[in-house]
Structure 1
Amino acid sequence: MASSMRSLFSDHSRYVESFRRFLSHSTEHQCMQEFMDKKLPGIIARIGDVKSEIKILSIGGGAGEIDLQILSKVQVQFPGVHINNEVVEPSAEQITKYKELVAKTSNLENIKFAWHKETSSEYQNRVMEKKVLQKWDFIHMIQMLYYVKDISATLKFFHGLLATNAKMLIILVSGTSGWDKLWRKYGSRLPQNDLCQYITSSDLTEMLDGLGIKYECYDLLSTMDISDCFLDGNENGDLLLDFLTETCNFTTTAPPDLKAELMKDLQEPEFSIRKEGKILFNNNLSFIVIEA
């Protein structure tokens, strides 16, 4: 691996921008929206049974867009019931955006928000030190398990925080996605970093089976338009390639043979489909619902 290649996480502003481009060129949020509209109401149908308050824990809540969608579904299911929504998020920048979103969103009067600037493991350590385990009616982890070192221990810990009739929702890339194939083939040739690890729903369900935890898994189709990646000197394409490879300035720093092989693979059917002149990368998502 060429020494000039470095992890995308080493340049925070470029990572944030490449992630923004990914969201604008993928159906990621639309896919999540579809799940929230069609599947979530049935999943949360009993979490608030005979309760005067519903406790929700968001791990890695980000800027809050998906969190507020979840909360709106809970409000519809349990009208007038008070909701205590706590958010664990390590990025101060994301927490600020979340608070700004809450400030300009109506119909949140019955929801109390609290934010904790910490990682899931820091939260876990803090809770364990207190020796008083708060139980939750709904816990969700959306696209965040990649940033956890000991995933199995994390699953076991948070599963132990579920109250009666509670559910835990985990969203991450599917084992059928292009990400799975990309990581398996190229992971060892791309910059390694301690911040992020390659994990898909296939790895996660294997862990859950090993822990004896009951779950249901739903796969939803999602794509990412990577057409610009094949246009020389296209800034948008370069940023999307950075996101795909988790490499800062992949286009200019990757060894020519690696770049040529990866660019060829990205156009193959196991990674992408061609539709209406576009190259659409397989960004399929898995929604894993865990029972108490």
Structure 2
Amino acid sequence: MSVSDDTCNAKSAESTSVVRSLYSDTDRYLQSFGAFLKDSDEHDAIINWITKYTDEMIEHFGGKKELKLMSVGCGDGQVDLVIIEKLKAASHFEKIHVTLIDPSGEQTERCQTLLQGLTAPESGKAQVSLTFKTTSFEDYIAGYEGEGGELPKYDIVYLVQMLYYVKSPFSVLENSIRSLEGTGRLFLIHVSGHSGYAKVWKKFGPRLPQDDNCNYTTADDIRELADKLGSHVQVDQNEITSTFVIGSDLKSSLNGQLAVDFIVEAAHFVEKAPEPLKGEVLEFIASDECSKMNEKGELCFNNNLSAITMYVR
């Protein structure tokens, strides 16, 4: 689905009057997200890719003694923990400074708790310092621009599963590139354009409820925006295989209903969506277009991701 404003604002009377965005119902969102975390291998898939990529970055920055990182949308810090621990253990770095940005105070507190042990001095390892910013990335950038100052520069900038929640993905990409040091690297992880989500969103997006931000964006949309940054920016894209076990009963089982909510980003979709929309969506999610049966007879939704890396040539 396109990230244009027209597409984001397109809504059908058949859905918007009775079904609300998943993000408008915090309790239901937490339920569906919890089910997703339990029944998908996304966390492991992301961590495996990031572990390998961090090894590449250790080699790439082998001549530096000091590294500066910016985590945009750090969440609870699970990804940051993996990256910082590996960089800290690399023998040639002496200092690592990390700026962590997230608009949620609750998430920031969780991140602080998880990462606080990394700042303790350890013999033979880099000294880590952490700076937390409880703000949106847009406001973080605006703070520097409003004061007429230059953006801080970083060796590594990363955005993991966060570009769904911004008003202008292109602006975020552009400012992230502007924040890179000369040999710096930017990477992001986002739902793949070949995933089941992409197919569901492309087919039904205009008929599904949306909040103020355009959530139905895929890595292919992001890649198109990245290509507009200019010929001086190198853009590479790799697929990350992942599955989400959604069961075989999407209508009456709670896990099935929560899975549907998470996929279409709508609260209580099975209960509240009108026909024929509900029937069409459930049939499509369960079809070979989006899902496959595993050896246990469980329906597995295509949860593939894309890793997009960028740097200035």
- Whether contact under 8 Å (2:64, 2:93) holds in the other structure is no
- Whether contact under 8 Å (2:194, 2:304) holds in the other structure is yes
- Whether contact under 8 Å (1:89, 1:119) holds in the other structure is yes
Q: Does 1:68 align with 2:81?
A: yes
**Residue 84 of structure 1 aligns with which residue?**
97
Q: Does 1:222 align with 2:242?
A: yes
1:156/1:97 CA distance change after superposition, 3 Å: same
The letter for the 1-side match of 2:157 is I
- Whether contact under 8 Å (1:5, 1:250) holds in the other structure is yes
1:35-56 deviation digits (Å, cap 9, x = unpaired):
12333311442236333x2111
Structure 1 residue runs of 5 or longer lacking an equivalent are none
**Residue 303 of structure 2 aligns with which residue?**
283
**Residue 144 of structure 2 aligns with which residue?**
127
Structure-2 separation of matches of 1:189 and 1:94: 31
Structure-2 separation of matches of 1:112 and 1:229: 48
Deviation at 1:291, TM superposition (A): 1.1
**Residue 163 of structure 2 aligns with which residue?**
145
Structure-1 separation of matches of 2:180 and 2:91: 19
**Residue 44 of structure 2 aligns with which residue?**
30
1:224-251 deviation digits (Å, cap 9, x = unpaired):
011165251x222222221111111111
Query: What are the residue-to-residue correspondences of 1:253-272 with 2, within 5 Å?
Result: 253-272=272-291
Q: Percent of aligned positions with the same letter in both sequences?
A: 34
User: Which of 64, 69, 73 in structure 2 is aligned with 1:50?
Assistant: 64
| Secondary structure of residue in 1 paired with 2:61 | coil
Aligned residues: CA RMSD: 1.8
1:85/1:186 CA distance change after superposition, 3 Å: same
1:230/1:17 CA distance change after superposition, 3 Å: closer
1:230/1:140 CA distance change after superposition, 3 Å: same
| Secondary structure of residue in 1 paired with 2:228 | helix
Deviation at 1:80, TM superposition (A): 4.9
TM-score by length of 1: 0.93
- Whether contact under 8 Å (1:58, 1:85) holds in the other structure is yes
- Whether contact under 8 Å (2:67, 2:93) holds in the other structure is no
Deviation at 1:114, TM superposition (A): 1.5
TM-score by length of 2: 0.87
| Secondary structure of residue in 2 paired with 1:218 | strand
Deviation at 1:79, TM superposition (A): 4.7
Structure-1 separation of matches of 2:120 and 2:288: 45
1:162-204 deviation digits (Å, cap 9, x = unpaired):
0022101110011111111011011111112113422112111
Structure-2 separation of matches of 1:76 and 1:215: 29
Structure-1 separation of matches of 2:154 and 2:191: 25
Structure-2 separation of matches of 1:159 and 1:80: 23
Structure-2 separation of matches of 1:97 and 1:238: 28
